[in-house]
Amino acid sequence: MPPGISAATVAGLSLETTSGTYLAPTKFFPLVSESLNYQQDTQWRKVLRGQVDVFGAIPGNAHTEGDISIEALDDVVPYFLDAARGALVATGAGPKTYTFTPNANAIPNKTLSLTVVRNGVVFGYTGVVVSSYTFTVSNGTLMFNASLVGADEATQSAPTAVWPTSVPYGTGMYSFEIPSGTPITDADTFEFQVDDNASPQYRLRSGGFRGATFVAYGDRTSAIKTERDFVSRTEYDAYKALTAQAVKFTAVNGASSITVNATTAIKDTYTVNEGGPGDLVRAGVSYTLAANAAGVPFTIVVITPEIFVP
C-alpha cells in the first residue's frame, strides 16, 4: 500500500448544535469500513471558441457522502439514529431507554459532525445525516451499516480517541418473533433495512460557500429479510394473501439491548428452495413494512448504560 494511504484508524462523532458547524468528537467508535468522501460538481468550460479542449473550470456544487460499517454498539447506534429521519426519545436512567420512531419530516432535526483520521490525516465532515441504514447479523455479529450524506468538509486537528467499552452482540444473544409474541428458532439470517432517499439541497449563496445548504429526505422504504425453514403451506398462502403481521427482533447482552419492532410487515417475496433429496425445505422471506394506523412502520428501542442526551 502506498505511503499516506490507509484504512481509517480513528472515527468520532458529535451532534451539531448548529447544522453544518463542525464540532470536535465527543464519542469515538471502532470502524469496520468507511468510504466517506467529498464530491464536487466542477463545471468544465468547453464552449465554441475555435478549440476542442477544456480551457477552464468554474466551481460547482459540492457535498459529502459515503458508507460506514460498524459493530452495532448500543452506546454508538443512538447517535446515528438521532441524525436519521425520526424522533429519538430518552427515558429512564442507568440504563437509559432510547426509542426511535420514524416520521415524515422532510429534513432531519439533528445533524452530525463526523471525524475520520486516515493514517494521521484528519477529515471533518459537517451537516451529516443518515440517508439509509441496515441492521444485519454477519457471522453471528450484529452490524450497523449506514449511507451518509453531508453538507461540507472542514479541516480539523487530530483528536485523542477514548474508545467505548461496550461489547458487540454475538451468537446466542438473539430473539426473533414472527409474529410478535411467537419466538422462532429456525431462522439463520436477519436483515432490517431503511432507505429515506436523502439528497443534498443547493441554494444560491455568497462568500464562496459550495456545500449543500441542507439535506432533504424523499420517500421511505423499509424491509425485513430472513431465511428460515419452510413452516407450512398456510404460511405460504398468507404470502399470496398479502397478510400483515407484526415482527420483532431483539439482541440482548446483559442490561443492554437493541430491538426492532415492525408493526405491519407484509410478505412481498417468498422463495421456496427444496434443495436436494432429503434436504430441508427452506424459505427466503422478505417483508415490506407498512405504516400502521398511527403512521408508524417500525420502532427501534436501544437500552444502554451509556448516558447519551439526544
Residue 203 in this model has a pLDDT that exceeds 60: yes
**What is the reported pLDDT for 7?**
47
**What is the reported pLDDT for 4?**
37
Amino acid at 79: Y
> Half-sphere exposure (CA, 13 Å, Cβ side) for 201?
13
Query: Once rounded to an integer, what is the mean pLDDT over residues 125-135?
Result: 95
Residue 58, C-alpha cell as written in the block: 468554474
Query: pLDDT per residue over 78-113, tens digit each?
Result: 999 999 999 999 998 778 999 999 999 999 888 999
Distance CA 249, CA 190 (A): 9
Amino acid at 101: T
Distance CA 209, CA 70 (A): 32
Query: pLDDT per residue over 166-199, tens digit each?
Result: 899 999 999 999 999 999 999 999 999 999 999 9
Query: Once rounded to an integer, what is the mean pLDDT over residues 220-240?
Result: 89
Distance CA 128, CA 65 (A): 8
**What is the reported pLDDT for 275?**
66
The band of 1, judged by pLDDT with boundaries at 50, 70 and 90, is very low
pLDDT over 70 for what percent of the chain?
Answer: 94
Residue 31 in this model has a pLDDT that exceeds 80: yes
Specify whether the CB–CB gap between 212 and 128 falls below 8 A. no
Amino acid at 137: V
Residue 115, strand partner residues: 12, 124
The band of 8, judged by pLDDT with boundaries at 50, 70 and 90, is low
